[in-house]
Amino acid sequence: MKNPLLEDWTTPFGLPPFARISDADFVPAFDEAFRRSRAAIDAIAGNPDAPTFANTIEAMERSDALMDRVAAVFFNLVGANANPVLEALQRDLSPRFAAFHSETMLNAALFQRVQALFASRESLGLTAQQSRVLELYHRMFVRAGAALQGDGRDRLRAVTERLAVLGTAFSQNLLADERSWAMPLGEDDLDGLPDFLIDATREAALERGLEGYAITLSRSLIVPFLQFSTRRDLREAAFRAWGARGENGGDTDNRAIVRETLALREERAKLLGYPSFAAFKLDPEMAKTPERVRELLMAVWQPARAQANRDAEILAAMMHDDGINGDLAPWDWRHYAERRRLAEHDLDEAELKPYFQLDTMIEAAFDVAGRLFGLSFHALDVPLYHPDARAWEVRKDGRHMAVFIGDYFARPAKRSGAWCSGFRQQSNLDGEVRPITVNVCNFAKAPAGRPTLLTFDDAHTLFHEFGHALHAMLSDVTYQMISGTSVARDFVELPSQLYEHWLTVPEVLRKHARHGKTGQPIPEALLTRLLAARNFDQGFATVEYTASALVDLAFHGGAAPADPMARQAGVLAEIGMPPAITMRHATPHFAHVFAGDGYSSGYYSYMWSEVMDADAFAAFDEAGDPFDPALAARLAEHIFSAGGSAEAEDLYTAFRGRLPGVEALLKGRGLVESDAP
């Protein structure tokens, strides 16, 4: 039988033929992909002709065509619909990919060609995009150790391969912990839970094969449980399990992995001539140095901590009024904050949530994209990798722009969190190739026949991930190297966080926030209260995030700690972490930082991007129109369509005319007084 992964795909829009792909197809497909990629690289490196942009850089752009296609299918499946066969293959593939990457980057003949082109770049007559791509290829080779000699090259290769193994193990351990834990609930354990949450816990129990009701470690279940449950003992049990992911002892404990990872990252940085891993990692980013990152984080930390401490006193007094003595604990905060929000803003999540149906929030995200960028979305009836996933064709003025896939519901086979990925990236090198982009979330699924309801935070997550998707789908560059989200790590969150702002535009909510049973729009009084409470509990939210970013920076900014958990505790003590708040991501389940290299020394990037997104949306406020056509056109041209075609600072300045300061962020979070009207 033919291997569908190795065939030309004649499916609609070139979608992967999911119905025909089996787990057994991946090993031979990867074998062939590695063979073809290796042969292509050898041919480029051994080319007797003098290096040119076409025979070296463009040839490398084409060298991984099959690998890109097979790997995109595999890694999307292993993240969103994993099974033991795929997970075992992932463990085998991680060192193999790392070894091939090192083999390519440390190919002396190949690097000589890139180096020669880079040295003579001014005389090559390159376009702006070609110059940018050449610069990035040269940087990639140098940062991978191509300029090293002798033992250093060999050691860096070994370190890189080992780090890949550790990142995969961390991710799989975390998924195993999340998959294995559930807390059954009986009828007597439902005190305080609203109907939507009872429905979700019933559905979670059914999915786990349990009787009655259950809480799992899905954020869309556990957070509302912590908000509403009046059973402090059950809140504590759930919170402790949530916080203990990755540090339960046994085979899935991640603490030893973290320790080894940090030591190897430090060694990698020093082999490449950097004083610390943070210095190495931040060098190509907007922030440039650990000192600038810490300056930003501490500018936000101080007012956020002060606000959180004031809030803690109020919540503790509420708890004591309930007859509960002792200190406010982390499993108490969300419960009393929800009650305080009801008291101060007359805003109840149970009243609010019916107006935030999943389907109408998807419509809202699509509608905003239509008004800003002229996009339209058309449902597709095509086979996908899971029955819960759905797809749309994206068009602009009748032109095909992309296929968008949404996979929104939590399930045991899916890793936690929310993310944007792709089955195909945009490029124009060999004719127009349009992207296939996917958003993956973990919302609690409603029982059959009922609409899935989101919290307001869930709706923000949906808009956030769709902002990433738009960054990929609107991309219009020649080279995949700079396509879509291939930008600086501390710039990549700008489109996603900026897009969240349109969720809170009143006319968007009036149109799309409709009751799940009656279909009626959100009442004006409720909308007013919702928007007035946007910054409620921002002290808590900012503290839990910023603490995580400061720990990440401390881990990588100096010598690797012998005991990372002790170092985490030390950092939190140094900054005065409020005792009733925990890090958003404690070290043993800090997947952003340890399930791969992506956000290592880079968790701060959400806040760095928030400085820009607050300032960018302020431009629409200044224009007096959240859909100002001229601004939207500039936003599309310089941010959403430009990919990594220029340095992030230049792209932002082209849109806004200048770089922003931290003031807009602090005002946006309500941590300083806004200017008087």
**Is the pLDDT assigned to residue 73 strictly greater than 90?**
yes
Q: Do domains 251-347+537-603 and 348-532+604-677 have the same CATH topology?
A: yes
* Mean pLDDT, range 74-88, rounded to an integer: 96
Backbone φ and ψ for 391, nearest 5 degrees, come out as -135, 155
Q: Is the per-residue pLDDT at 675 higher than 60?
A: no
pLDDT reported for residue 519: 93
Q: Is 52 exposed, middle or buried (0-12, 13-18, 19+ CB in 10 A)?
A: middle
What is the tens place of the pLDDT at every residue in 344-358? 999 988 899 999 999
pLDDT for 445 equals 92
pLDDT band for position 69 (cuts 50, 70, 90): very high
- Of residues 676 and 460, more confidence is placed in 460
The mean per-residue pLDDT over the stretch 557-582 comes to 98
Work out the average pLDDT over 170-184: 95
Active site residue 465: yes
C-alpha–C-alpha distance, residues 450 and 181, integer Å: 26
List b or e across 263-280, with b for residues whose CB sees 16 or more CB atoms inside 10 angstroms: bbbbbbbebbebebbbbb
pTM value?
0.94
**Exposed, middle or buried: residue 677 (CB in 10 Å: 0-12, 13-18, 19+)?**
exposed
% of the chain at pLDDT higher than 70: 99
- pLDDT tens per residue across span 153-164: 999 999 999 999
Strands 390-396, 375-380: pairing is: antiparallel
Give the model's pLDDT for residue 414: 93
Instruction: State the Cα angle at 210 between 209 and 211, rounded to 5°.
Output: 130
Catalytic residue, candidates 203, 247, 349, 465: 465
Q: Exposed/middle/buried for 351, CB within 10 Å: 0-12, 13-18, 19+?
A: middle
For 229-283, the pLDDT digits (tens) are 999 999 999 999 999 999 999 999 999 999 999 999 999 999 999 999 999 999 9
The full set of domain ranges for the chain reads 4-147, 181-244, 251-347+537-603, 348-532+604-677
Residue 495 and residue 172: Cα distance in Å, rounded? 29
Average pLDDT in the chain: 96
Q: Given pLDDT bands bounded at 50, 70 and 90, which one contains residue 676?
A: very low
Q: Which fold has domain 4-147?
A: Glutathione S-transferase Yfyf (Class Pi); Chain A, domain 2 (1.20.1050)
582 — alpha (psi -120 to 50), left (phi > 0) or beta? beta
Q: What is the mean pLDDT of residues 509-526?
A: 95
Contact 395, 401 (CB under 8 A): yes
Report the candidate in 38, 39, 37, 24 with the shortest Cα–Cα distance to residue 74: 24
Does residue 631 surpass a pLDDT of 90? yes
Q: What is the mean pLDDT of residues 321-342?
A: 96
Please give the pLDDT value at position 677. Answer: 34
CB-CB contact of 64 with 38 (8 Å): no
In whole angstroms, give the CA distance from residue 597 to residue 607: 19
CATH T-level topology, domain 251-347+537-603: Neurolysin; domain 3 (1.10.1370)
According to the model, what pLDDT value does residue 673 have? 56
pLDDT tens-digit readout, 467-512? 999 999 999 999 999 999 999 999 999 999 999 999 999 999 999 9
Q: What is the mean pLDDT of residues 210-233?
A: 95
What's 348-532+604-677's CATH class? Answer: mainly alpha
What mean pLDDT is predicted for residues 51-66? 98
pLDDT digits 0-9 by tens, 119-148 = 999 999 999 999 999 999 999 999 999 999
